[in-house]
Amino acid sequence: MIRSGFGYDVHRLVKDRELILGGVKIPHSKGLMGYSDADVLLHSIIDALLGALALGDIGTHFPDNDLAYKDIDSRLLLRKTYILISGKGWKINNLDATICCQEPKLKPFIYDMRKNIACDLNCDLEQISVKATTEEGLGLSGKGEGISAFCQLLLIKV
Ligand code: ZN
């Protein structure tokens, strides 16, 4: 048995926030605004995991009016989501994500993002793909107003 999932998320870039993507702190003059640490990549992955099993979305499970999630490390939310998925007998076959970000350059940080995600989802590095692209100066990511992320994944029943 297999199930596919898809997730999308976007957060606004603002001053005086840390930029955290895939659980990696990235040196930059701006960071993402959000109720949690605003890790847009991990949020798209959480939505894909939940979506694969038709379990709603990140807002259903971790509401942004709940003080428990204020400034929370999104890796904790990812791990909680994985516990939910694995508790129903599912595991990751593979995951492929793309971050749309004009700057900073994310290439030096991709390996550590994949390592974090593989660790939290209890799978091997080769099962986790993270890519970064610019949108050629167009739209919200291209103009530096925000960063978005897409994730597609396949779950298999164990
Ligand atoms: Zn988000």
123 CA → ligand 1 middle, Å? 23
Q: Where are the domains of the chain?
A: 2-157
Q: Could you give the CA distance from residue 131 to residue 148 in angstroms, rounded to a whole number?
A: 12
Tell whether the model's pLDDT for residue 158 goes beyond 90: no
Residue range 86-111: mean pLDDT, rounded: 97
Q: Report helix, strand and coil shares of the chain as percent, to nearest 5.
A: 35, 35, 30
Please tell me the distance between residue 74's alpha carbon and the centre of ligand 1 in angstroms: 9
Distance 115 CA to ligand 1 centre (A): 20
- Please say whether the beta carbons of 100 and 134 come within 8 A: yes
What local confidence, expressed as pLDDT, does residue 138 receive? 93
Distance from chain centroid for Cα 11: 11
Residues 14-67: pLDDT tens digits?
999 999 999 999 999 999 999 999 999 999 999 999 999 999 999 999 998 888
For residue 61, which phi and psi values (nearest 5 degrees)?
Answer: -90, -30
Ligand 1 center to 9 CA (angstroms): 5
Question: Helices 74-87 and 40-52 meet at what angle, rounded to 10?
Answer: 10
> Tell me: the pLDDT tens digits for 109-141?
999 999 999 999 999 999 999 999 999 999 999
Tell me how far the alpha carbon of residue 44 lies from the centroid of ligand 1, in angstroms: 7
- Find where tokens 């970064």 sit: 132
Question: Residue 120: which of 26, 2, 39, 6 has the closest Cα?
Answer: 39
157 pLDDT more than 90: yes
Between the CA of 126 and the centroid of ligand 1 the distance, in Å, is 25
Q: Encode 84-111 in three state secondary structure.
A: HHHHCCEEEEEEEEEEECCCCCCHHHHH
Specify whether domain 2-157 bears CATH 3.30.1330.50.
yes
